[in-house]
Amino acid sequence: MDLEAVRTFVAAADAGRFQDAAVDLAVTQQAVSRRIATLEGELGVRLFTRTARGSVLTIDGQAFLPHARELLRSAERAVASVRPGQRALRVDVIGMRIAPAALLREFHRAQPETELDVVTLFDGDTAIAAVASGAIDATFRAVVQPGRQLPDGVRSMRVIDEPHQLLAGPRHPLAAAREVTLAELTGHRIWIPGASPGTEWTAYYDELVAEFGLAIDAVGPNFGSEALLEVIADSATVATLTTERTRLVWPAEYDLRRIPVVDPVPLYPHSLVWRDDNSHPALAALREFAAARACRVEGWVPGWVR
């Protein structure tokens, strides 16, 4: 349905005269008549009756008027939903407990007027494709994996190099250590259940294993962090790797230990990824905020992110 014809119909109904509607719309009276005639032809009914005092709505015109007003309101809402700065900024993170999610919380505290829509897509390829298609405005990911590159028009900025820690229970042989080297981890079982082939975090751990000879076990379904923490607390042999800013909470009786990994420090490289033609003003603000808080430290990262 032609929204200009609908808008003209509403203006004529409110004004009561086609001539007055033409003035309100800054068009000719002939244009008003032509639009109304087109709308009547499309609907198959007469909307106005001409009288000496002006134009009066027919019974069909009266029935159509509230729906015509709602059509125009819907059109206004549709335009507002995509007008830069009017809709929420849609940003993807791997999980709500990791460093990029913390950065987004800090950004929202600094700019509470900015509406955010935070989503968690499964893997980097899906997230970057969503950025490229415009389904999301930005994502925080480790880019790029071996043999892959960003799509045309998609940009990235490395913002957080997050150190790893060993998470172990009180009976683990390394539980009393203040720090542990990658060499000392050799031979110990590091359990990271649910590491899926093709994901950026699996590519990260694959290269860590290849370079330092670690024994990372991905066997078993991932029942979530609570189940993982319970297993580690009860085990004298199983530990896992986590990152420094990952938020984990466990019962006091678990007595788990977060032990920094050093020599070298393995760093998970989080990058902010966006389309360079995305004009959302909140995206520019997020990029500036992330750049100001970029945390780059010395340590090891996979060769494909250097």
Q: Is residue 147 left, alpha or beta, with left meaning phi > 0 and alpha meaning psi from -120 to 50?
A: left
- Distance, in Å, from the CA atom of 101 to the CA atom of 276, rounded to the nearest integer, reads 22
Nearest to 277, CA basis, from 155, 188, 135: 155
Mean pLDDT (whole number) for 130-137? 93
Amino acid making up residue 291: A
DSSP state of 88: P
Does the pLDDT at position 142 exceed 90?
A: no
Report CA torsion sign: 175, 103, 207, 130: positive
Does the pLDDT at position 146 exceed 60?
A: no
pTM as predicted = 0.71
Q: pLDDT for 21-35, tens place per residue?
A: 999 888 999 999 999
Mean pLDDT (whole number) for 157-166? 93
Name the pLDDT band for 218 (thresholds 50, 70, 90): confident
Report CA torsion sign: 55, 60, 66, 71: negative
Angle at the Cα of 215 from the Cα atoms of 180 and 163, rounded to 5 degrees: 40
Amino acid making up residue 283: L
- Distance, in Å, from the CA atom of 91 to the CA atom of 287, rounded to the nearest integer, reads 12
Domain with CATH 1.10.10.10 in the chain: 3-82
**What percentage of the chain reaches a pLDDT higher than 70?**
96
Amino acid making up residue 126: T
**pLDDT of the residue at 94:** 87
Domain with CATH 3.40.190.290 in the chain: 89-305
Q: Which CATH class is domain 89-305?
A: alpha beta
- Distance, in Å, from the CA atom of 228 to the CA atom of 245, rounded to the nearest integer, reads 18
Q: pLDDT for 259-304, tens place per residue?
A: 999 999 999 999 999 999 998 999 999 999 999 988 777 899 998 8
Q: Which CATH class is domain 3-82?
A: mainly alpha
